[in-house]
Amino acid sequence: MSASGLDSRGCRITGTTSASLIAFERALAAFQNWRAGADAEVDIALHEAPDFVMAHVLRAWLFLCSRDPQRVRLARPLFAIAAGLPSTLREQRHLTAIAAVLGDDYEGAKSALGALLKLHPRDVLALQVAHALDHVTGDLAAMRERVSAALPHWSYSMPGYHAVLAMHAFALEECGEYARAEDAAHAALNANALNARAHHALAHVFEMTDRFDEGVQWLNGHVDAWGKDTVVATHCRWHLALFHLARGECDAALALYDRHMGAGQSSDIADLIDGAALLWRVGLSGWRSGRALGRTRAGMGAAHRRWFLQLQRPARSARVRRCARLGQRQATGAIAGACTTVAHAARRDHAATRARVMPRHDRIRRGQRRAGDHAAGQPAPDGASARWQPCAARCAAPDAAESHRSHAATGAQAASRRTGNDAWCARGTCVTSLLRLGP
């Protein structure tokens, strides 16, 4: 028999049983730590208590935080079920936020979750989702302040405290407070050494502070913590590959691609993005670029093309424009600029698209100081830019070959991100919203 009760953080929940609550807490812990298994645990929770509102809410957020449009669409029926169940005000605010995301109103979702967190600062699910929404909308100040405001209400003994510290670490890193971010990440790992989120935050710190040797040592030394049964194993290997590129070790980076990101390794959209972004960076580095671009054509199979060619399909152009308008209105900084680029591409304004992409490409290439260096320490010739220019021109043409359009889409997205920050390449707000606009 289902009933009301309290979760491990003292938040009231409805429709649960003791067995379903245990499964829910396991699912939430997996989601917080970026570990595999959350879906299976939610299945158990809902099997034990079909009216468990927060189990429906957690499952909906698991779907909505995915980059797979098929999974995203599955959140709609879950929302409909949960909305018809008796619920608390806190649970209702979760449902309000879910409805907003389903309608591509990210700011509305952030507002609903912000109001919830003022009353329930220990609702770690609300904090985690709001943190993610702050990230994809480029609202770095809100991402930092939101977690900072919640931290005083937590303590070391509370379940999930390490996840809050890891979120704090990432927010600090994104705001350029690298020393504080590193301290927070280590504090999170002291509380839970298997927190993959904290290892990822440290990877960002090492990247942004040019500590590439330490990045390689750290990720290799803790691979069991982030590389086994996690949802970010490929992404952390992408960071490891970037460290190798920064040290001029292109072969090591490509070996990671071949073992973990190449054709047949994974069909997960996040993994496909990482693989394509790595190949594009190898091409920019000037190291054996022909070999890298050969991998792009061979490795970017049907699943890669299906995702990257969304922007090129005329049937989707209205959705692209709608998504870009949303981004231009709601996003800030680089994300808003990327949305403008997408809007030009959707209108087939190829000259304007090239005009926006090329300066970003050149800035990123200059920023990757070591990635293109020769073994003797001399700068590589400016061949990557020269190769990109004709490719961009070919890709911009309406009759462009599929392989060139794939490469252009990969390059345009990678060029819209700053070095070391996966806000566009790995968390592309515009493209993710586009894919959510299906039936």
Residues 328 and 367 both lie in one domain:
yes
Cα separation, 97 vs 129, in Å, equals 10
Number of structural domains the chain divides into = 3
Residues 108 and 88 both lie in one domain:
yes
Express each pLDDT in 401-439 by its tens digit. 343 334 334 333 433 333 333 322 322 322 322 222 222
In CATH, what number is assigned to the domain containing residue 43?
A: 1.25.40
| Strand 3-6 relative to strand 12-16, pairing | antiparallel
Residues 230 and 347 both lie in one domain:
no
pLDDT-derived band at 398 (thresholds 50, 70, 90) equals very low
Residues 265 and 358 both lie in one domain:
no
Q: Which residue has the higher pLDDT, 262 or 121?
A: 121
pLDDT of residue 99: 96
Average pLDDT on 142-168 reads 95
pLDDT of residue 364: 42
Kindly give, in sequence order, each residue whose CB lies less than 8 Å from that of residue 379, ignoring residues fewer than 6 positions away: 372, 373
**49 is a domain residue:** yes
Residues 128 and 20 both lie in one domain:
yes
**209 is a domain residue:** no
Express each pLDDT in 240-258 by its tens digit. 999 999 998 988 998 998 8
Boundary residue ending a domain (134, 154, 171) = 134
Residues 247 and 271 both lie in one domain:
yes
Residues 350 and 281 both lie in one domain:
no
Q: 212-217, long-range: CB within 8 Å, 24+ apart, which pairs?
A: 212/243, 212/246, 212/247, 212/370, 213/243, 213/247, 215/239, 215/240, 215/243, 216/240, 216/243, 216/244, 216/247
Residues 346 and 263 both lie in one domain:
no
Express each pLDDT in 56-113 by its tens digit. 999 999 999 988 888 888 999 999 999 999 999 999 999 999 999 999 899 999 999 9
Express each pLDDT in 368-397 by its tens digit. 333 333 323 333 333 333 322 333 333 333
pLDDT-derived band at 352 (thresholds 50, 70, 90) equals confident
pLDDT of residue 338: 63
**220 is a domain residue:** no
Query: Which residues on adjacent β-strands are paired with residue 132?
Result: none
Residue 368: phi, psi to the nearest 5? Answer: -85, 75
CB 234 within 8 A of CB 271: yes
Residues 287 and 309 both lie in one domain:
no
Residue 310's domain comprises: 305-372+403-436
Average pLDDT on 228-238 reads 94
Residues 130 and 91 both lie in one domain:
yes
Query: Which residues on adjacent β-strands are paired with residue 3?
Result: 16
Q: Is pLDDT above 50 for 366?
A: no
**340 is a domain residue:** yes
Q: Is pLDDT above 80 for 343?
A: no
Assign 290 to helix, strand or coil. helix
Return the closest-CA partner of residue 206 out of 195, 197, 217, 196.
217
pLDDT of residue 415: 36
Boundary residue ending a domain (272, 300, 328) = 300
Average pLDDT on 193-213 reads 95
